[in-house]
A and B are shown apart, each in its own frame.
Chain A
Amino acid sequence: MAIIPWRGRTLPVATLASLREEMNDLLARFWSHTSEPFGLAEWSPALDVSETDDAVLVHAEIPGIDPKELDIAVVGDTLTIRGEKKDETEREGRNFHRVERRYGSFTRSLRLPTPVDAEHVTARAAAGVLEVRLPKKEEARPKRIQIKTD
């Protein structure tokens, strides 16, 4: 049984450290996707949903997607975002060694937490993040109550 003597003092350690780092990265990436609904779509953008006094805000991660090609719709109490991330790996003359990004079309629907004014929804995108602003209906806005002192 041949065992190659381990002579290197720094190289194997460096290589293992690098391997370990890669394993950690892969595991971290694996676990970060477990909250996504498996099987519904190849991928769908991560969403943050927050609320201010007068609006519901939805932020979506859309790196590399042209925001003009997104389809955003509000029907009743549901917001739907549709779009497609163009597959770069198919392009000519490119030989991919690693593909972790996910491509393809997606649909993401979301039940809104309060009634919104669907006529005045606005959307803008910056640095690969889409922000959809849905103004709350008057009855859903918080009413501040003045406290009287005697």
Chain B
Amino acid sequence: MRHTILTQSHQDLGHLARHMTDIMHRVLHSSFSTGQKPPDWVPAVDICEMCDHWEVIVELAGVRREDIEVYTENRHLTITGWRHDPTSPEKIGLHQMEIEQGQFRRRILLPAGVNDDAIAARYRDGMLRIRIPKR
């Protein structure tokens, strides 16, 4: 009896392992097929709920407004863009480089019950604020 249970568990585990392998392959395959390379840096995000809307706050210091793109697709909100080198092009030396530059991307699952046709974004002083009205 005990033996049978063990065998059953082992079979279940075997199934589970095969399922996991299958899923991982699909995940890897799906991420390859999107052709997206990982971003150079990832901005910090706060997400806050208020009575009639949600607010997504993204820190994008030094990014120009025209270099930011915000879009929704498939129940996700994506914020992507580019940060150029903030230092002077006339520099003759660089002593410290902590501000990350290059492409950034952030993808956030939208909360349920929002009106994604009325999302508004504003950018000021390096802060992007995205307002997502509730339905």
Chain A contacts to B: CB under 8 angstroms: 1, 3, 6, 12-14, 16-18, 20-21, 24-25, 28-29, 32, 35, 46-53, 57, 59, 61-65, 88-89, 93-102, 110, 113, 125, 127-129, 131, 142
Q: Which of B93, B97, B98 has the most CB of A within 10 A?
A: B98
Q: List, in ascending order, chain B residues with CB within 8 A of A48's CB.
A: 86-87, 94, 96-99
In the complex the two chains form, is B87's CB within 8 Å of A64's CB? no
Q: Nearest-CB distance from A8 to chain B (Å)?
A: 10
Answer whether A53 and B92 are a contact pair too, CB < 8 Å, given A61-B62, A93-B51, A129-B62: yes
Query: Contact between A101 and B27 (Cβ–Cβ < 8 Å)?
Result: no
Contacts of A17 in B (CB 8 A): 27, 30-31
Which B residues between 27 and 50 are near A, CB-CB below 8 angstroms? Answer: 27, 30-31, 38-39, 41-42, 44-50
A6-B19 contact, Cβ under 8 Å, with A1-B12, A99-B46: yes
| Inter-chain contacts of B92 with A (CB < 8 A) | 51-53, 142
Cβ contact within 8 Å between B94 and A50: yes
Asked if A1 and B8 make an inter-chain contact with CB atoms under 8 angstroms apart, the answer reads yes
By a CB distance below 8 angstroms, the chain A residues around B95 are 49-51, 113
Given the interface contacts A32-B41, A32-B100, does A25 sit within 8 Å of B106 by beta carbon? yes
Inter-chain contacts of B86 with A (CB < 8 A): 48, 59, 129, 131
The number of chain B residues with a CB under 8 A from chain A is 53
Binding site for A on B (CB under 8 A): 8-9, 12, 15-16, 19, 23, 26-27, 30-31, 38-39, 41-42, 44-51, 55, 57, 59-64, 74, 76, 86-88, 90-100, 106-107, 109, 125-127
Contact, CB under 8 Å: A25 / B42:
yes
B12, B74, B99 — which one has the most chain A CB atoms within 10 A of its CB? B99
Chain B minimum-CB-distance residue to A103: B46
A96 touches B88 (CB 8 A): no
Selected A-B contacts with CB under 8 Å, 9 pairs: A3-B12, A48-B96, A50-B93, A52-B90, A52-B92, A61-B62, A89-B46, A113-B95, A128-B59
Q: Is the CB of B46 within 8 A of A98?
A: yes
Bound CA span A99–B57, Å: 9
Chain A residues near B38: list those with CB within 8 A: 24, 28
Partner of A32, one of B27, B42, B64: B42
A61 to B19, CA, bound (A): 45
